[in-house]
Structure 1
């Protein structure tokens, strides 16, 4: 992007000081060049005027973060400009709020404003009214263009075309022809084996995101930026279905997470999945896929579906236990409350230990729960109660287990639900009434089949004892999940912990 430039004609002290502002966001055949804009604006000046030209090449008018524009406004505020000339109103701004503020600044510092194309000035009331109306349509035009760009990007992604951006780690971009159109697609690069090793390492019982970071660093596999991997980056990579050799179970998982499926009737073997979303409405963590689209990609994935799903299940179990902010991790988070005011007890790091403090006291609505509890002591006492409860469950054998037939029924249910979603999606895209009617009837039949499968799954399940880990040997994820399932809440009055089981 080219920054601003000044062209100054030195004249006498009694001349009008005029600023010409020109802007071009992109060089296209149908756009007016910066030089042409300047020449047309100079037609509105007198020979004796002192003219300063401020230029912004490669900057959009959606905001005022433009070096040439900022330099011009600084000259206006310092009293160096009497009049501002533009070729067209949308050259100075395409945002109505910004444009209104610009006019206010011009009025405050006694600077006139004139547009060459629209033939009016801010000095007349009609000119002011017309400027406001035109800027409304300029903003509407910009939003329309953005909507067209988003629709075009989604259409390309839906057909498997490349939508730009750097390729994910472990892939490179290569030329390809898809549907007779020249585009590009992903292909495994030299670090594909490192990606596979990272997924396998995380799926181990002792595997963590931090351990994968260390593994890749030790293997010499570095991120695009920096020398070491960040846990947030690795977590998103483990979540990203672009790496999986997707099958029906993978698509069923993505649909369960809220994604809308865009897949062919016959799934190609071992292909990855693109996740497409409007960046204005969604985050990049891939933990909630509502509002996103799961699109069958043309490239071949790197990770077997069973391994990828095992990693997702492990990360889903760890979600309730992840740290928020800088507070210490505890399986009591969200379950421990003050008996006096009902506020949550929150962990606070002290000099030698982590203490539990009433959040109501910090807000000034409570005197506190009484004596201060150490988090370690509270976890030990409540953990003993949960350990006893787990031992009871082991002896009574009330834990529901699935046999091979139940698992087979579950897979059949997932496949049927996925085909039903695809049929419902085809109804919204069909133009022929007969096709829509046939698809609706088939979807209704599949819903009936799903209902029967659910009933068979409920009847096939059986209760039997399983080998639950001992509380003292359980990891943080198991303790969090067990506490969420077994505990209703824990109350404290400073001297006693009152544990209420479900």
Structure 2
């Protein structure tokens, strides 16, 4: 069967359409039956394209003997991807035809010409990518609107800057009053994010139909788009390592500021201004500089409240969730650890859940521990031979875990320079790697949990539960339990096995 492959990343008047590509390729079929594979809205810089991947699977299954494209860059703009594709075509005796470039892959010269053309296709892609990045950088320094979510308190309106049609922000009166109130409250020394949320909820105010949470409050307080920037604000940014693009004389206490990361910068915390690019915006600010500076400095002096990444106060953390809303239960200690409770994180964060009721950490740990011991009755003895196999398996898994971490870090480094298609692929790949990483970690935990038991000890495991360390109990819980949903009325345990 003949395959016609067509791709178009962006539908523009000056680009050849999918239909035109297919019509030009149809001539090369010489009247023989064919199947079309079409990818709309996908870049040629990688192979993460559904119809392309389906075509390659059909080639591997021997269903396709000829592939026709309108032009070489329709099927690939990556040297590595193209080389792998041509190698597969050779193994499966698949003929490759470019309708406009007339390549013959049956000869060494034809293959050489193909490789030369793909080098220039990749060069063109990289040149376009750099040109787009340079244009973005240049426009951002001239106060042009650069897209993104419209901040609370503003609407977007058209404007003209330096003869160029663009957009700018304009304050929305009702939302701007809420923003002013947030800054006024937080500028007081003893006011917290939670206090602000309580007050806003009492007034029945939502953030464009959504409930307020601490992260949204923090984003507002850290955003220079709201400040009426004067020389004090200019000095603040300079003192904290930011690059102020506009001269000090332009900071007259009226305009807000845009904050951009440098092209080489990775994602940083909201409080870190080192290397940030500050540009005066064309819109009027909402908050006076003295109040904004008080709030900004207060934000820099405290850490953001986020859930702990590792269980500390209870070996149940990370497994146990609120039976009302499904959010994580956090182990809180009071009176220097003499009183221990499990509290709903959603309730603590935004008051959007009534909470799971009064849950004493010790009581819940005791109950779940008894259920785990009951579940452990299904396990038998382990021999030394089995233990050796487990140790070898653990070493292999630890090596795979390190490689997975390395690949995730490499993908994260590429996010800043990616386009929409590559960004989507990176997200999907990282999600898959993260799932695999969790599977490996659980397997390692299971192997480590049994490493200290000998033949004479394994039949006593039911009596050893209370003697296990905090980390050992947490690992056993990870192995056996998928999730726990708790309220003061009932506790539901979802077992893995």
**TM score, norm. by length of structure 2:** 0.58
Distance, in Å, in 2 between the alignment partners of 1:87 and 1:129 is: 19
Is the Cα contact below 8 Å between 2:68 and 2:96 reproduced in 1? yes
C-alpha distance 350-64 of structure 1, shift in aligned 2 (>3 A): closer
Moved more, 237-246 or 267-276: 267-276
SS of aligned partner of 1:200: helix
The residue that corresponds to 2:276 in the other structure is 292
| Match 1:171 to one of 136, 143, 154 | 154
Cα shift readout 1:203-235 (whole Å, capped 9, x = no counterpart): 2233223433444444444345x7223433332
| Match 1:119 to one of 63, 87, 102 | 102
| Match 2:267 to one of 268, 283, 286 | 283
State how many pairs are aligned: 321
C-alpha distance 120-211 of structure 1, shift in aligned 2 (>3 A): farther
Root mean square deviation of aligned Cα: 3.0
The residue that corresponds to 2:122 in the other structure is 139
The residue that corresponds to 1:242 in the other structure is 225
SS of aligned partner of 2:219: helix
Q: Is 1:93 aligned to residue 76 of structure 2?
A: yes
Is the Cα contact below 8 Å between 1:282 and 1:291 reproduced in 2? no
Q: How does 1:163-312 map to 2 (within 5 A)?
A: 163-189=146-172, 190-223=174-207, 227-264=210-247, 265-278=249-262, 281-283=265-267, 285-312=269-296
Cα shift readout 1:101-158 (whole Å, capped 9, x = no counterpart): 3334434544332222332133332333333332232222212212212222222222
Is the Cα contact below 8 Å between 2:44 and 2:77 reproduced in 1? yes
Distance, in Å, in 2 between the alignment partners of 1:348 and 1:162 is: 47
Deviation at 1:313, TM superposition (A): 1.3
**TM score, norm. by length of structure 1:** 0.58
C-alpha distance 245-375 of structure 1, shift in aligned 2 (>3 A): same
Q: Is 1:162 aligned to residue 145 of structure 2?
A: yes
Distance, in Å, in 2 between the alignment partners of 1:44 and 1:159 is: 50
Deviation at 1:92, TM superposition (A): 1.1
Q: How does 1:344-383 map to 2 (within 5 A)?
A: 347=312, 349-350=314-315
Deviation at 1:378, TM superposition (A): 10
Is the Cα contact below 8 Å between 2:222 and 2:296 reproduced in 1? yes
Moved more, 63-72 or 297-306: 63-72
Is the Cα contact below 8 Å between 1:154 and 1:276 reproduced in 2? no
Name stretches of at least 5 consecutive residues in structure 2 with no aligned partner: 318-332, 339-497
Q: Is 1:38 aligned to residue 22 of structure 2?
A: yes
Deviation at 1:351, TM superposition (A): 7.3
SS of aligned partner of 2:28: coil
Distance, in Å, in 1 between the alignment partners of 2:335 and 2:80 is: 54
Name stretches of at least 5 consecutive residues in structure 1 with no aligned partner: 1-16, 329-346, 353-373, 380-502
Greater Cα radius of gyration, structure 1 or 2:
1
C-alpha distance 350-36 of structure 1, shift in aligned 2 (>3 A): closer
Distance, in Å, in 2 between the alignment partners of 1:29 and 1:114 is: 26
Deviation at 1:192, TM superposition (A): 0.9
Deviation at 1:186, TM superposition (A): 0.3
C-alpha distance 60-200 of structure 1, shift in aligned 2 (>3 A): same
The residue that corresponds to 2:410 in the other structure is none
